[in-house]
């Protein structure tokens, strides 16, 4: 979706994400009851599943080998409280074991002096297409598997079946301090399919990257993209869009009733399975989280009403360039907002994008998230947050560094239903950790070391150990950095 200088206007119209910065669909954690931290309404909605196998493509991820590690004498932004100056953190057995002014370091621990450096939780991107929209993306490369733009409702597709683990964008994302991403289908469709939540690790298979126990998401999209893509066959208007969502949910309600009834008595033949309706029924049961691409404020309000009509919750509005206009509504409904710092203006529904969006949302109490929808931006989410923080401070809507780090970590973890496992540096959580060369909100700072589940997966200072995808061998010159 990126383009060389000046060809953007054209690519905007034709590509999956840029024009349609897509929105997503995720996958279910079917039978598991909702975690306490979830606000998704599950109780009254839970029913038996409509599928005999709720996890047909199970995660095979196992944490990479790790050693007990102490980072000392470092500034720690925990995303769970005030910044700790001159503190220490202990990573053991893949978890955050201790964090504070000092920790008990075992004799055999790897000790890293963090003088002048910063530690944060691993960055989480709620909106990625890496792997599904791979590179190179020249004509004929056929690496763009983001939009199943063959029908306005494609709830039956799962984006993990598009993910190419050898996409060279993955290691670059990791080098940006990003440890978890949600890969979403594109935004061509009203309902685009299921998302996949991945750890940014090398693997031969997508199953080896899937975040164990992560719930699926469902990608939905408002506004210009679906009506543009389906202008000929419909929907061709925004009212057509809304009729399309409602028709799909009506079908899903019927499907769910049929299956819940059958599950109740198990007599006679089971109803016929329908992949798309299975996914939608799982949303209605509260097992799949809805991620809704939506630019305009008025459309967000309509999507919230549709969710109420059918009894599901929207977990996050994505892109939301006008989210600041309904910040109070989003706060009241406890919907998170996944937004950019300053990407806007590329189409009319994005024309009211302002850099103050995150700050205004933050002030209103909305769970604010900086997302990317772009493999380049995904590497520098910390810089995006820095721009948005500076704008808040400029316009008199102050943002603290403690706020801004949450935009990149714990709030994103919440949107993915993973905030009990990752997204903050608290004892017992996964040791998904970044050591930054300086303050992460400085333009000069880069991620220096990145741990996932306690294993050091990236070290900028050790080019020989850096992950190179199969594609890169021979095609892409080795980059040994040689920067200062």
Partner 1 sequence: MNRSLSRTLVLLVATAPGVLALRAHAQTVAITGGRVHPVSGPVNENGTVLIRDGTIVAVGANVAIPADAQRIDATGKIVTPGLVNAATQLTLVEIGAVTGTRDAQARGRDGIAAAFRPWEGLNPTSVLISPARNAGVTTVLVAPSGGLISGQAGVIHLVSGTAAEMVLRAPVAMVAALGPARGPTGMPRAETIMRLREILDDARVYRTRRAEFERAQTRTLAAGRLDLEALLPVLDGRLPMLVQADKASDIEAAMKLATDYGFRLIILGGAEAWQIAGKLAAARIPVLTGAMNNIPESFVALGQRQENAGILSRAGVPVSVIGNAGGGDEEAFNVRNVRFEAGNAVAYGMEWNAALRSITLTPAETFGVADRVGSLAPGKMADVVIWSGDPLEFASQPERVFVRGREIRQPSRQDLLEERYKTVPPNYRKP
Shortest reach from residue 449's CB to partner 1, in Å: 16
Shortest reach from residue 234's CB to partner 1, in Å: 20
Task: Choose between 171 and 286: whose C-beta lies nearer to partner 1.
Answer: 171
Residue 231 in the binding site for partner 1 (CB under 8 A): no
Binding window for partner 1 (CB under 8 A); candidates: 75-83, 200-208, 231-239, 350-358: 350-358
Residue 172 in the binding site for partner 1 (CB under 8 A): yes
Among 445, 448, 453, 456, binds partner 1 (CB under 8 A): 445
Among 101, 351, 427, 473, binds partner 1 (CB under 8 A): 351
Site for partner 1 in 402-421 (CB under 8 A): none
Shortest reach from residue 328's CB to partner 1, in Å: 5
Site for partner 1 in 312-331 (CB under 8 A): 324-328
Residue 461 in the binding site for partner 1 (CB under 8 A): no
Site for partner 1 in 135-154 (CB under 8 A): 135-139
Among 356, 358, 423, 454, binds partner 1 (CB under 8 A): 356
Shortest reach from residue 329's CB to partner 1, in Å: 9
Among 47, 131, 152, 377, binds partner 1 (CB under 8 A): 377
Residue with tokens 């980059």: 479
Q: How far is CA 154 from CA 161, 245, 326, 357, 436, in A?
A: 14, 11, 29, 31, 41
Instruction: Give me 233's structure tokens.
Output: 């066959």
Among 380, 406, 421, 429, binds partner 1 (CB under 8 A): 380
Q: Are 90 and 69 in contact (CB under 8 A)?
A: yes
Q: Are 388 and 323 in contact (CB under 8 A)?
A: no
Residue with tokens 């970044």: 434
CA atoms within 13 A of residue 206's CA, in its CB half-sphere: 20
Binding window for partner 1 (CB under 8 A); candidates: 59-67, 178-186, 275-283, 443-451: 443-451
Say how far apart CA 301 and CA 238 lie, in whole Å.
14
Site for partner 1 in 109-138 (CB under 8 A): 135-138
Shortest reach from residue 362's CB to partner 1, in Å: 13
Site for partner 1 in 11-30 (CB under 8 A): 12-13, 18-19
Residue 444 in the binding site for partner 1 (CB under 8 A): yes
Shortest reach from residue 434's CB to partner 1, in Å: 16
Binding window for partner 1 (CB under 8 A); candidates: 204-212, 299-307, 339-347, 419-427: 339-347
């Amino acid at each position: 979706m990126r383009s060389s200088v000046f060809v953007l206007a054209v690519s905007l119209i034709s590509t999956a994400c840029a024009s349609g910065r897509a929105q997503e669909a995720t996958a279910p954690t079917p039978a598991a009851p909702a975690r306490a931290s979830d606000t998704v309404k599950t109780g009254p909605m839970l029913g038996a599943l409509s599928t005999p196998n709720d996890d047909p493509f199970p995660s095979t991820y196992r944490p990479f080998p790790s050693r007990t590690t102490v980072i000392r004498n470092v500034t720690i932004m925990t995303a769970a409280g005030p910044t700790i100056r001159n503190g220490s953190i202990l990573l053991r057995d893949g978890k955050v074991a201790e964090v504070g002014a000092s920790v008990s370091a075992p004799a055999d621990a790897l000790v890293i002096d963090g003088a002048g450096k910063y530690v944060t939780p691993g960055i989480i991107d709620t909106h990625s297409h890496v792997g599904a929209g791979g590179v190179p993306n020249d004509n004929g490369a056929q690496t763009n598997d983001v939009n199943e733009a063959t029908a306005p409702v494609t709830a039956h597709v799962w984006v993990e079946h598009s993910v190419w683990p050898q996409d060279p964008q993955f290691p670059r994302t990791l080098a940006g301090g990003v440890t978890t991403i949600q890969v979403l289908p594109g935004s061509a469709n009203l309902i685009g399919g299921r998302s996949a939540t991945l750890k940014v690790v090398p693997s031969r298979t997508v199953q080896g990257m899937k975040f164990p126990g992560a719930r699926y998401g469902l990608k939905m999209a408002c506004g210009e993209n679906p009506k543009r893509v389906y202008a000929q066959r419909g929907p061709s208007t925004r009212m057509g869009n809304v009729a399309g969502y409602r028709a799909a949910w009506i079908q899903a309600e019927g499907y769910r009733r049929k299956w819940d009834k059958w599950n109740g008595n198990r007599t006679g033949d089971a109803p016929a399975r329908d992949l798309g309706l299975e996914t939608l029924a799982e949303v209605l049961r509260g097992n799949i989280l809805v991620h809704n691409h939506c630019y305009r404020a008025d459309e967000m309000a309509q999507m919230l009403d549709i969710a109420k009509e059918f009894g599901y919750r929207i977990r996050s509005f994505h892109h939301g360039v006008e989210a600041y206009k309904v910040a109070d509504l989003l706060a009241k409904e406890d919907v998170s907002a996944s937004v950019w710092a300053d990407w806007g203006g590329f189409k009319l529904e994005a024309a009211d994008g302002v850099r103050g969006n995150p700050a205004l949302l933050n002030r209103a109490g909305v769970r604010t998230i900086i997302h990317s929808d772009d493999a380049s931006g995904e590497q520098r989410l910390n810089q995006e947050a820095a721009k948005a923080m500076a704008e808040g401070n400029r316009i008199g809507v102050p943002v603290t560094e403690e706020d801004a780090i949450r935009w990149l970590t714990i709030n994103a973890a919440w949107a993915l239903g993973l905030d009990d496992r990752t997204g903050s540096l608290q004892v017992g959580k996964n040791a998904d950790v970044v050591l930054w060369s300086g303050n992460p909100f400085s333009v000069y700072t880069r991620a220096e070391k990145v741990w996932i589940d306690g294993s050091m997966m990236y070290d900028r200072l050790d080019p020989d150990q850096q992950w190179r995808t199969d594609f890169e061998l021979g095609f892409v010159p080795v980059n040994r950095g040689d920067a200062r």
